Amino acid sequence: MVGVITDRDLVVRGLAERKPGTATVNEVMSRQVTTVSPQMSVEEAAKLMANEQIRRLPVVENGELVGVVAIGDLAVREKHDEKAGKALSEISVSEKTLSGAGAK
């Protein structure tokens, strides 16, 4: 995996930096990607998302991408609603703070 591109990357590194619509994915993708193994617990994934302020975790096994866990995936699991909600809340608060300061 060389990177990930999200809607936020498109806005922050694409539109905000006034890159043309013909800019390549390589120009706007996030290169430092946090990944997890399929064996990681849902609770650990939620904590990692909150700590790293990320909404999506690529799942990698033996060097291969095998899936992606999104904060919404955690929220639909009744047992983990509270943890996912807390993680999303922490991510959202941090994003508001960053966007207010003009940072990424």
pLDDT at position 103, please? 42
List of residues 6+ apart from 88 with CB closer than 8 A:
55, 71, 75
pLDDT at position 64, please? 93
pTM greater than the 0.75 cutoff: no
Question: Measured between alpha carbons, how far is 44 from 95 in angstroms, rounded to an integer?
Answer: 21
* Helix/strand/coil for 49: helix
- The Cβ-side half-sphere exposure at 24, using a 13 Å CA radius, reads 3
DSSP type of residue 54: -
pLDDT in tens, the chain (104 residues): 889 888 888 888 877 667 777 788 888 888 899 999 999 998 899 899 989 988 899 999 999 999 999 988 877 665 545 655 566 566 555 554 444 544 43
Domains of the chain: 1-31 (no CATH), 34-101 (3.10.580.10)
Contact present, 36 and 59 (Cβ < 8 Å) = yes
